[in-house]
Amino acid sequence: MTQIEHKYLLSLSRRVIKKYLSERSVLTLEQESLPSDFLRDKRGVFVTLTINNELRGCIGNLEPEKPIYQAVIDNSLAAAFYDPRFPPLTILELQKAKIEISILGPLKKLQFSAAGQLANYLKQKKPGLLIKKNFNQATFLPQVWLELSEPEEFLQQLCLKAGLDRESWKDLTLEIYEYEVEKFQEGDSKIGG
């Protein structure tokens, strides 16, 4: 993606939240108004809000269900107002909030014959992970490695997030998918926002 696309999506996210806060209406766009055709591509997208480097909302979709620009609109609203971990964002909080957008690459299923083999692989690569078992699933974006740098702890916390036992990652029937992200946020010097 280009810096222009990064800047456009960050601005779009902030405009969407601001409009909803002031008018209780959802911003809509015509595809012709987009600065590039790439923003019409369908991708997984996460929008993360932080205040003073503390999480304030994070919602996204792993599957490429919607065009990037529409996923940014929908997930910006969801992160600001519908993340069940937080009350709805206020106007004062929006002034202090920093927006980060993650555009996901395709999911790739991982196959391992031993838990230690998986841990070693993750220690080297540190990708985003999705785990699934029956109806339980959870994901951590690659950014979470900054907080949970040891593979065992990363996997344990991901299992707990999915509602599984913390050692479920050692069960070879667990489905594990990796993915890469292109992330950018307000205040990145290369974006100039």
- Domain architecture of the chain: domains with CATH: 3-104 (3.30.700.20), 108-179 (3.30.1490.150)
Residues 108-161 have pLDDT tens digits of: 999 988 888 999 999 999 999 999 999 999 999 999 999 999 999 999 999 999
Cβ atoms of 179 and 104 within 8 Å: the answer is yes
Q: What is the pTM of this model?
A: 0.87
Provide the 8-state DSSP code for 86: S
What residues have CB less than 8 Å from 61, skipping those under 6 apart? 44, 45, 46, 71, 75
Residues 72-105 have pLDDT tens digits of: 999 999 999 999 999 999 999 999 999 999 999 9
Read off the pLDDT band of 189 (50, 70, 90): low
What residues have CB less than 8 Å from 74, skipping those under 6 apart? 66
* Cα–Cα distance, 89 to 79 (Å, whole number): 9
